[in-house]
Structures are given as C-alpha cells and as structure tokens.
C-alpha cells in the first residue's frame, strides 16, 4: 500500500522555483532515499510534506488523505514525524523531558508517557543521560535525541533530514543499525542523506532531485551510476573525463 | 526535594505568624512583597513558561482594577464578584491579543510591541472616559467590610496577599508538572520543533496568555481595594508593566519560586529607598538602582538568581531540583 | 476656506515628521547593525532635550547651535552603553535583550528626573514665536528649522554610511557579522560607533524639539513608541524607510486631530502600528519580515 503519495509537487519562493513537478511515493515498510546536490530542494520538500511550508501546486497524500493545508502538529498526529537538518533540541530541558514531549502525543497519562520516553531512550542508547540538560549534549548525541523524540510519537512514517550529517563512521554505523531496527518494527523511512555509506546501506529505493526536479529514481546501485546523477553531483567535466 | 518542601513550609509558617509581631508599616511592606510576587508570577506564566514576552501586562491589572471598582461604585457589586468579572474580561482581551499575535506570526520583539501598543491604547482610551474617571482616575470610598473587600489596618490585606502569592506559586508548580505546562515549555524552547512533535503551538500559547491575563486581573482588584486610588497611569501605565516584570526576571523566569525570590529582594529595596530618598528629594533614585541591578543580573546571572541560589544551596544542603 | 486647516495640518505634520524620521533613523541603524531594539531610545532623546536645555540656560546657546554638542554627548553615551552592556548581550535570547535596554532607559529617565525635577520646562528660544507665511499656510520657523536640520542630518548619516570607510565597515558588520570579523573588522568597535551614531541622532532630535515642546522626564517612553511605529512602518533596518515613515506618521498624527482630541493622537499611532504589524510587518521598505 502506498503510504505517502507525492504528485507533481510544486513550491515557489517569489520568482524562484524550488520544487517542480516532483512525484514519488513511499510504500509501507519501505526505506526511500531522497538525494541530490546541495540546494536541490530536498529540505524544502520535507517542509512541504510536514506542513511547514504551504504547497503551491500538486498533491500530497498520506494514508490516502490529502495533507494540503494541514498544520505540522496535525500531520504528526496522523503518523508522520520528522527530524530537522540542524538539530533542534529543547535546550533548557532534560533529555527525558525532551522525549516526553513526543511521548505525550500518544500517551495521555504522564506515567505512561514517561515509560514510553524511557523505553525510547533505551532503544537509542541515551537512557543513562536522561536527566542531563539537552543543551549539554554533543552533536552526535543530539542527533540521537532528535531521533528519539520523533520516535516517541509512534510514527508510521519517519522523515529524516541528514540524520547522519557530521557523524564519524562509528556513529554512522550505529545510526544505520538503529534505523534498520526501526524499519523492522514496521516504520517507513524517507531519508535525506549525503553520507553515502549510510544511504547505500539502508535505502531500498532512491529518488534523486536537482534544481527541484526528479532526475533519476531506482535501486541505489543503478542510480549512482546514472550519468545524469553523476553530472548533477560532480559536474559535466567529471562526466566527460570519466568517459 | 523533601528538604525543599520542609524549608518552604517553615518559611510559610514564619510568614503566617509575622503579623503577631510586626507593626502596620512593616506589614504594609510585606503586602507589597506578596502582591508584586503575585503579579510577577502571573506574568511569568506567559513569558517565563510560554516564552512570549509581554511588556504591557499592566493592561490586565487595569482591567481588573477598573472593572471591580466600577461595578462596586455604580452597581454595588462586591469586589469578590467583581474581581472574577474583571478576570474573565482580561482573559478575553488577552485571548484577543494572543490571537492577533500568534495567528499572524508575531514573534519576539513584534509581540512585545503588540502588547505595549494595546496597553497604551487602553490607557489613553480610559483617560478619556468620564465614567471611569478620565485622567484623574477614581478615588475609592473607604467602606471597610469583608464584603467590600476593604479592611482596617494591614493584617487582613497581609493574609489576602499572602494567600494570592502562595496560590500563584501553586498554580505555577502544577503547570510545570502538567501536560499543558510541558507543551508550553516546548513551544517556548522551539516552537517549530514542538509542532513537529504534534504540539498545537497556537492552542498552548493561547492557554498561557489566557491564564496569565486572568490571574493578573485578580491582582488588579486587590490593588484597587488596598490603595484606594486608581488612575490610568498607575494601573495601565508602562511604569507598572516594567515594575512587574523586574521581579520574575531577577528572581528567575520560568520557575515557580523565581518571582517570589525576586520580590523579596527587590520590593523591600524599593519601599525603603522610596521612603528614604523621596524624603530627601531624591525621587527616582530607587528606580535607577533597580535599573542597574536589573542590568547586572541579566549580564551576570542570566537565568535569574534562583538558579544560582539553587546551585549554591545544592552543594550546601544537597537539594535536588 | 475648507482646505486651509487640513493643509495646515498636513504641513505641520510633515515638518514634525522629519524629526520623527531622524529619531527613527537612529533606532533603525541600531537594529540594522546589532539586531537589538533600543528601548532606551526615547529617554535618550529626552536626555538630548535636557542637555540642550541646560546649555541654553547656562550658556545662552540656542539649541540649533548647541546641536553638535548635544549630539557629541549622546554619541559618547551611546558608545558607552554599547561597549559596557549591549555588546555582551548580542547573543542572548530576545527576552533577555529587551530588559537591559529597558533598564537603561529607566536609569536615564530617572537620572534626568533627579537632575531637573519632574516639572515640565518650556524655555524661550530666539525663534520660538517667529512664523512665516507660505500662501495660506502658517509655518513656525522653529518647526521649519527642525525639519530642515533633521533632514540634513539624516542625509549626512546616509552619505556617511554609504561612502566613508567607517560607514562601509558598519554596513559590512550589519550584513554579516561573522564575515566582517573574518576580514578583520573590529566588530565590537563598529558596534560601539553605530550605537553612538544612533544615540547622537536621537539626541540631536531632542535638541531640535526643545523649542517646539515642553520637556518632561517622562516623555521618553512615548517617543520610543513613536520611533517604533516609524521604524516598523518604514521597515526595520531601512534608513530611507525611517525618514518616509516619519513623514507619514507626522502627517497621520497631525491630521487625526481633526477627528480626535489631541491627547488621543497616540491611539492613532498605536493603531497604525498594530495594523502594520498584522498586515505588512516588513513595512514599506523592509526586506526581512
């Protein structure tokens, strides 16, 4: 079943066309990668999918229902959660309380929410730091916190924006392991990623966009060899040089 | 945690017993301490917990003061009832301002200016309404009786204001522990991130301003029936708006005890220096001291004195937050 | 004749508006460079008024002459305020930026109160009562002088920012603080200078206003709000916007006296402010909302 359907999505900023005629879909229990050079419009797509930016043209359906015009909190409630490219923890609040904000979406009682928060923290390996102020965490742990917070909302679809950015290879592998486990629990993942190692390990399919348009789609192995994709990332000269 | 509660309970006991030993003048200072702590706490609920800065909170004080006074003087309605009318009115005004601010995405400084604008507009409009006393204001008749919310001496006012203050601390603490309070704090910390987690930022911001306005207005009724004189400047003016934010900021915003601590620090300073300096013709000096103190606290004790005190006490008494 | 009164009001509004523009230019500059809203702006203007008053009473110098002295004094004050307080709060969250400047305004206002007492002062200056006639319109010379000098000073500030080296550093720092630091600009000194200029312009406005209105220590906060209205109307960070906004507000306030009592004038400005913030928060010339 198609969990997320994006049809001819368009987004303009004044005269600038950030996303144009973008169509793709995400199936149940699938990991889809969304890649493209810097400035291609990937985060803009995320903002459109999660209600942070209004959609100019096109249609986005989540579980068959259009999300056009919905506010972010309503979309999260429907089951689509996201993380941000630049992590946004609640700095002055403890790690546990951060995750509790997410947990309280589904659990009305504070005690149940706390249990859910604790188990989520255990899952990502942050349980020992639950009383620490979020602002005191280094980047790698903040990324995990961001993931935990989104997970606590019990999403069916998880939108991850460069969740491995800035991590060292060990942390990347750990993140890959976590995401695989999340996937195994039945969560679909839409992944914006530059860290190829992580992307290749996880994505079952990949959509490549450049200048707001889809230029390739398919299995990761094929897509990275597609000449258009190589050109987009590395430029014409490389393509010519590579023959 | 238990030690903290023990400490607070003993402090409360002392406060309850103080009227047995203090004279009217000193009791009056405490009334002001409790009163400004209460007002500051009410403001704190909006700005400290929700993160929306208001520099026009005098508006709600004024609504409370004028409403209950008007109803008492013209319709013989007891301020005990009038104060709830004023509070509801203030809440509606607060919701209107919140609606304009939050729906139109006015954040940070723009929201501050919005709050100032409404307070100032109200002050000017009220100054032109004869039924509310115009520029000159209203002198309340002194008809002491419980039903009139007016008392001889300061003892009754002492316990009333103490009750207000303790209640407000209770409200703040309950809010801190509640779902709504947690959502409000999340919105304060990062509104977008909160929304992405399913928090309806608009709803919880509105809740913050409604609660804050409601409580502040109750304080306005107290003020009117304690000072016996209200005018647009004293209850709707910028001076009051600034005065009432100083204590929570210095004591610690976003904490239940911050405004109380701030008030215990600042109010005696203000009352004593006001009395001392004004006699010598040095009116306004206490405000200069306030200003300097406020600047120092913001520069060097950004989170307010409560947090620093807590850290210091933690090592001494091993208290947990 | 029916058009005479409105025309008179419009002209008076424009003239006063020039001074509003000058006040707002300072606020806009400070915001543009430091990103900080100077809540002490009105009290600084009032301080300028009182300094001009003091010089007038002690030395007999007309405000138009002592203008430079007043501006210099306020420049020093602004420099000091930035260096000691504002430079430290640049990275603070907004709530914590508001308070020190509000506190600074409080200190200035009460220092003036202490020094001069609460009674309004209305000194006699040489040109106070002179008027000229331009067709059907009667113009106070002091108002005309104020307008002319205000526009002149504003023009000087524009040119300075555009063409001088210091001005370029200021614009660089305003545009991109990190970048400016990286190319070796002493950003904290630039900030000090900018705040100084901002304070100087508002102090100068105070000197210009002295012949036009009675001074009182508590005027400050009203003028801070006036400056806010103008800056938001014109667009935060836009200097031409500040001048244009000033003119518009001046006229709006003046013409509104046809409909409401003069003491309600400010309701008009606040109403305008709220309307702009709701419907066009970037103002007329502003880019960033």
Least-confidence region, from A124-128, A179-183, A223-227, B303-307: B303-307
**B-C contacts (CB, under 8 Å):** 111
Whether the per-residue pLDDT at A89 is higher than 60: the answer is: yes
Q: Which of C227-245 are b and which e, b meaning 16 or more Cβ less than 10 Å from the residue's Cβ?
A: bbbbbbbbbbbbbbbbbbb
Assess B1–A contact: CB distance below 8 Å, yes or no: no
Judging contacts by C-beta atoms under 8 Å, the chain C residues touching residue B55 are 98, 102
Q: Any CB–CB contact under 8 A between B179 and chain A?
A: yes
Does A contact B via 3+ CB–CB distances below 8 Å?
yes
Measured CB to CB, residues of chain A less than 8 Å from chain B are: 50-52, 71-73, 76-77, 81-82, 84, 88-93, 97, 100-102, 104-105, 108, 110, 149-150, 152-153
Q: Decide if pLDDT at B302 tops 90.
A: no
What pLDDT does A31 receive? 95
Only one residue has tokens 């003028």, namely C223
Count CA within 13 A, CB hemisphere, residue A89.
Answer: 26
Straight-line distance from the first to the last Cα atom of chain A, in angstroms, rounded to the nearest whole number: 41
- Mutate which: C84, C102, C222, vs B, most B CBs within 10 A: C102
Inter-chain CB proximity B194 and A100 less than 8 Å: no
DSSP summary character for residue A40:
S
Q: Are strands A31-35 and A205-210 parallel, antiparallel or unpaired?
A: parallel
* Nearest chain B Cα distance for residue A239, angstroms: 40
| β-pairing verdict for A213-218 and A16-27 | unpaired
Give the three-state DSSP class for A37. Answer: coil
| CA dist., res. A44 & res. A161, Å (int) | 11
pLDDT of the residue at B1:
66
Q: Report which of B44, B83, B59 is spatially closest to residue B169, judged by C-alpha positions.
A: B44
Query: Looking at residue A144, what is its pLDDT?
Result: 93
Rounded Cα distance, B197 and A99, in Å:
9
**Which positions in chain B touch A89 (Cβ < 8 Å)?**
190, 193
> How many Å lie between the alpha carbon of B1 and the closest alpha carbon of chain A?
15
Q: Report which of residues B136 and C91 the model is more confident about.
A: B136
pLDDT for position B157: 93
What is the band of B279 on the pLDDT scale with cuts at 50, 70, 90? Answer: low
Report how far apart, in Å, the C-alpha atoms of C109 and of each of A205, C7, C43, C102 are: 67, 36, 6, 10
The radius of gyration computed from the CA coordinates of chain B, to the nearest angstrom, equals: 19
The H or E element spanning position B229 is strand B229-230
- Residue B300, pLDDT score: 86
Residue of B nearest to C101 (CA): B295
Strand partners, B114: none
Which chain B residues are closer than 8 Å to A81 by Cβ?
A: 196-197
Which CA distances in Å does A13 have to A44, A45, A54, B320, C236?
Answer: 10, 13, 11, 50, 22
From first to last of its 289 residues, chain C has per-residue pLDDT tens of: 577 788 888 988 999 999 999 999 999 888 888 888 899 999 999 999 999 999 988 888 888 889 999 999 999 999 999 999 998 888 887 767 888 999 999 999 999 988 888 888 887 776 666 778 877 788 888 888 889 999 999 999 988 888 888 888 888 877 777 777 777 778 888 889 999 999 999 999 999 998 888 888 888 888 998 998 999 898 877 888 889 999 999 999 888 888 888 888 888 889 989 998 888 888 887 665 4
Min Cα separation B96/chain A (Å): 21
Given an 8 Å threshold on Cβ–Cβ distance, is B294 in contact with C100? yes
Q: What is the mean pLDDT of chain B?
A: 89
List B residues 255-294 in contact with C (Cβ-Cβ < 8 A): 282-285, 287-288, 290-292, 294
Contacts with A110 from chain B: Cβ below 8 Å: 177, 179
- In terms of phi and psi (left: phi > 0; alpha: psi -120 to 50; beta: otherwise), the region of B143 is beta
Contact yes or no for B197 and A71 at CB 8 A: no
d(CA C59, CA B85): 58
Q: Partners of A16 in the beta sheet?
A: A13
Q: What is the mean pLDDT of chain A?
A: 91
Q: What pLDDT band is residue B321 in, cutting at 50, 70 and 90?
A: very low
Contact in structure between C205 and C45 (CB atoms under 8 Å): yes
Per-residue pLDDT, C180: 78
Residue whose C-alpha is closest to residue B138's, from B241, B227, B28: B227
The two tokens of residue B295 are 């600047």
Q: Is the dihedral of CA C227, C230, C235, C237 positive or negative?
A: negative
Q: Find tokens 């209107």 and name the residue.
A: B96
Beta-carbon contacts of B116 under 8 Å, excluding residues fewer than 6 positions away, are B55, B56, B238, B241, C225
DSSP string, A46-100: HHHHTTSS---EEEEEETTEE-TT--HHHHHHHTEEE--SS----TTSBHHHHHH
Please check the confidence at residue A96 and state whether its pLDDT lies above 80.
yes
Lowest model confidence (mean pLDDT) among A44-48, A155-159, B86-90, C31-35 = C31-35
**Residue B127 confidence (pLDDT) above 60:** yes
| Residues on chain B touching A108 (C-beta within 8 angstroms) | 179
Cα separation, A193 vs A106, in Å, equals 28
How many Cβ contacts (< 8 angstroms) between chains A and B? 72
Q: What is the pLDDT of residue B246?
A: 87
| % of chain B with per-residue pLDDT over 70 | 95
- Indicate if the pLDDT at residue B272 is higher than 60: yes
- The pair phi, psi for residue B276, each rounded to 5°, is -70, -50
Q: Which residues of C touch B283 (CB under 8 A)?
A: 113-114, 118
Segment B19-37, tens digit of pLDDT = 888 888 899 999 999 999 9
Percent of chain B beyond pLDDT 90? Answer: 61
Residue of B nearest to A150 (CA): B197
Torsion of CA B167, B172, B176, B177, to 10 degrees: 10
- Scored b (16 or more CB within 10 A) or e, C121-136 reads beeebebeeeeeeeee
Determine the distance in angstroms separating the CA of C112 from the nearest CA of chain B, rounded to an integer.
9
Q: Which of C106, C114, C278 sits opposite B290 (nearest CB)?
A: C106
Selecting from A84, A101, A110 the residue whose C-beta is nearest the C-beta of B186 gives A101
Q: Tell whether B299 is within 8 A of chain C (Cβ).
A: yes
State whether C99 and B114 contact (CB < 8 Å).
Answer: no
Place of tokens 């120092």: B296
Sheet with A80-82, strands from edge to edge, namely A80-82, A157-161, A188-192, A31-35, A205-210, A213-218
Best CA proximity match to C199, nearest among C50, C19, C23, C33? C23
Interchain CB distance below 8 Å, A101 and B183: yes
State the sign of the Cα–Cα–Cα–Cα dihedral B147, B152, B156, B158: positive
Q: How far is C252 from chain B (nearest CA, A)?
A: 16
Identify the pLDDT of residue B317. Answer: 63
What does DSSP say about strands A57-62 and A2-13: parallel, antiparallel, or unpaired? Answer: antiparallel
Query: Using CA atoms, how far apart are residues C40 and C103, in angstroms rounded to an integer?
Result: 8
Chain A residue with CA closest to B186: the answer is A90
Q: Which of B103, B193, B304 to mutate to test the interface with A (most CBs of A within 10 A)?
A: B193
């Amino acid at each position: 079943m198609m969990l997320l359907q994006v049809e001819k999505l368009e987004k303009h900023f004044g005269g600038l066309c950030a996303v144009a005629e973008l169509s793709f879909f995400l199936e149940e229990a699938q990991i889809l990668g969304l890649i493209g050079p810097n400035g291609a419009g990937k985060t803009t797509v995320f903002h459109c999918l999660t209600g942070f930016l209004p959609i100019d043209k096109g249609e986005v359906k989540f579980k068959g229902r259009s999300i056009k015009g919905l506010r972010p909190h309503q979309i999260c409630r429907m089951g689509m959660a996201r993380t941000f490219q630049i992590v946004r923890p609640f700095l002055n609040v403890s790690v546990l309380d951060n995750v509790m904000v997410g947990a309280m979406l589904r659990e009305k009682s504070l005690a149940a929410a706390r249990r859910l928060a604790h188990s989520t923290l255990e899952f990502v390996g942050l349980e020992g730091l639950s009383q620490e102020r979020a602002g005191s965490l280094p980047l790698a742990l903040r990324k995990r916190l961001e993931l935990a917070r989104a997970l606590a909302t019990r999403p069916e679809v998880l939108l991850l924006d460069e969740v491995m950015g800035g991590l060292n290879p060990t942390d990347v592998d750990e993140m890959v392991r976590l995401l695989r486990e999340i996937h195994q629990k039945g969560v679909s993942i839409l992944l914006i990623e530059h860290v190829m190692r992580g992307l290749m390990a996880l994505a079952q399919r990949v959509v490549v966009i450049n200048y707001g348009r889809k230029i390739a789609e398919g299995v990761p192995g094929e897509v990275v060899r597609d000449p258009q994709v190589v050109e987009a990332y590395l430029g014409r000269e490389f393509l010519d040089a590579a023959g | 945690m238990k030690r903290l509660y023990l400490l607070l309970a003993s402090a409360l006991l002392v406060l309850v017993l103080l009227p047995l030993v203090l004279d009217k003048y000193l009791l009056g200072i405490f009334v002001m301490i409790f009163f400004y702590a209460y007002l500051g706490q009410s403001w704190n609920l909006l700005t400290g917990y929700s993160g929306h800065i208001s520099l026009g909170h005098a508006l709600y004080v004024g609504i409370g003061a004028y409403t209950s006074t008007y109803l008492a003087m013209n319709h013989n309605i007891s301020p005990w009832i009038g104060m709830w009318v004023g509070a509801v009115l203030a809440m509606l005004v607060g919701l209107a301002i919140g609606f304009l601010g939050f729906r139109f995405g006015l954040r940070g400084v723009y929201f501050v200016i919005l709050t100032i604008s409404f307070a100032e507009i109200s002050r000017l409009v009220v100054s032109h309404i004869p039924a509310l006393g115009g520029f000159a204001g209203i002198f309340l008749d002194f008809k002491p009786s419980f039903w009139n919310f007016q008392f001889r001496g300061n003892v009754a006012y002492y316990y009333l204001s103490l009750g207000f203050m303790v209640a407000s601390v209770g409200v703040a603490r309950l809010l801190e522990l509640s779902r709504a309070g947690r959502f409000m704090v999340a919105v304060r910390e990062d509104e977008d991130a909160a929304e992405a987690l399913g928090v309806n930022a608009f709803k919880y911001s509105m809740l913050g301003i409604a609660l804050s306005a409601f409580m502040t207005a109750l304080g306005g009724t107290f003020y009117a029936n304690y000072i016996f004189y209200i005018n647009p400047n004293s209850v709707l003016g910028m001076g009051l708006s600034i005065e009432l934010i100083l204590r929570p900021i210095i004591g610690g915003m976003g904490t239940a005890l911050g405004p109380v601590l701030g008030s215990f620090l600042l109010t005696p300073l203000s009352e004593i220096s006001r009395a001392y300096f004004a006699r010598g013709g040095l009116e306004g000096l206490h405000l200069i001291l306030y200003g300097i103190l406020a600047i120092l606290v913001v520069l060097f004790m950004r989170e307010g004195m409560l947090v620093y005190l807590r850290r210091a006490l933690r090592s001494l008494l091993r208290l947990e937050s | 004749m029916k058009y005479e009164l409105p025309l008179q009001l419009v002209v008076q509004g424009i003239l006063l508006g020039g001074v509003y523009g000058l006040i707002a230019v300072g606020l806009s500059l400070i915001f543009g460079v430091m990103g900080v809203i100077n809540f002490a702006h009105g009290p600084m203007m009032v301080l300028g008024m009182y300094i001009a008053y003091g010089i007038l009473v002690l030395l007999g110098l007309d405000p138009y002459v002592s203008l430079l002295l007043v501006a210099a004094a306020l420049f020093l004050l602004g420099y000091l305020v930035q260096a000691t307080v504002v430079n430290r709060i640049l990275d603070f969250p907004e709530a914590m930026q508001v308070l020190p400047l509000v506190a600074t305004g409080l200190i200035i206002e009460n220092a003036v109160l202490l020094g001069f007492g609460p009674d309004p002062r209305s000194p006699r200056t040489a040109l106070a009562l002179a008027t000229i006639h331009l067709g059907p319109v009667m113009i106070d010379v002091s108002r005309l002088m104020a307008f002319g000098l205000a526009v002149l000073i504003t023009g000087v500030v524009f040119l300075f920012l555009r063409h001088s080296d210091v001005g370029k550093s200021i614009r660089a720092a305003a545009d991109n603080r990190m970048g400016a630091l990286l190319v070796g600009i002493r950003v904290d000194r630039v900030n000090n200078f900018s705040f100084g200029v901002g304070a100087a312009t508002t102090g100068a406005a105070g000197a210009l206003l002295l012949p036009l209105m009675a001074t009182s220590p508590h005027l400050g906060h009203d003028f801070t709000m006036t400056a806010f209205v103008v800056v938001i109307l014109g667009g935060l960070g836009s200097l031409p916007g500040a001048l244009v906004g000033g003119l518009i507000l001046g006229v709006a306030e003046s013409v509104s006296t046809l409909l409401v009592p003069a003491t309600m004038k400010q309701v008009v400005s606040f109403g305008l402010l709220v309307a702009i913030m709701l419907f066009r928060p970037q103002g007329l010339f502003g880019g960033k909302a």
